[in-house]
Amino acid sequence: MSTSTEEYLEALYNLTRESEPASTSAISKRLNITPASVTEMMHKLANERYVNYSPYQGVTLTPKGYRIAEKMTRKHRLLERFLHDVLKIGNDRVHKEACEMEHALSDETARAMCQALKSPDSCPDDGQLIPACDLGFSSCEECRKWGQDNPEKISKRKSSVVSMSDLKENQEGLISFIRGDNNVLRRLLDLGLTPDTKIKVSRVSSLKGPVEIACRGSRLALGDEIARNVFVEKVTS
């Protein structure tokens, strides 16, 4: 896949986070590319089934395009953390540096980087959430125990996951992945929140307040720090 294609898909990932189609003008502005060039590329990506494109109605990612876009976004934000936390590069430079490096970063190296950084959950400059990996682990602890041997034998997650903090009121999800160390896992276990547990969001607070959920017949309030690191498969009724 070309670097240009990856950049377009990554831009669309960020522009359509609220499930709203992205306009060609918004894509043009974000990538600093002429609207005519954007339109031409959208037709190409639609033919390759990476996006759904309808003139005057905007662009959305297909599941195929979303998986690639999310992986590129994850690599970009991991690189930002590495550049900032390890190499001590300033916030004014990490974004540009990560943009240039993300396309060459292999999946295996991204996984090793994530482990070395102790599974970071956000960017250093703007605090945006780092997406979960697409590996078939239920927790970061399980990934660490696997080690770096036989990476080709690691299965991939079959369905896309979203952070619990991204769910809206009355949306339901099935817990698929928990990010964090053993302390996080033990706390969630004590609350009955384990992989394959079904939850329903009852109330979402503003300004990164607690998320209230219904789970196993009980109501729980989870702080944003916890909720953003519990990833679920959306359940559609």
Residue 22 has pLDDT above 70, yes or no: yes
Query: What six digits make up the tokens of 87?
Result: 């190499």
pLDDT score of 126: 81
Distance from the Cα of residue 204 to its chain's centroid: 20
pLDDT score of 36: 94
Residue 210 has pLDDT above 90, yes or no: no
pLDDT score of 189: 82
Which residue segments constitute the domains of the chain, with CATH numbers given?
3-61 (1.10.10.10), 66-131 (1.10.10.10), 162-235 (2.30.30.90)
Residue 17 has pLDDT above 80, yes or no: no
Residue 185 banded pLDDT, cuts 50, 70, 90 = confident
Residue 19 banded pLDDT, cuts 50, 70, 90 = low
d(CA 30, CA 124): 20
SS3 202: strand
Residue 151 banded pLDDT, cuts 50, 70, 90 = confident
Residue 203 has pLDDT above 90, yes or no: no
Average of pLDDT values for 32-45?
94
d(CA 102, CA 74): 9
Average of pLDDT values for 159-172?
90
Instruction: Using the structure block, give the residue that is written with the tokens 């607070």.
Output: 205
pTM for the whole structure: 0.89
Residue 98 has pLDDT above 90, yes or no: yes
Q: What percent of the chain has pLDDT over 70?
A: 99
CB 65 within 8 A of CB 12: yes
pLDDT score of 207: 72
Mean residue pLDDT across the chain: 90
Average of pLDDT values for 170-197?
87
d(CA 97, CA 161): 28
Residue 127 banded pLDDT, cuts 50, 70, 90 = confident
d(CA 60, CA 22): 7
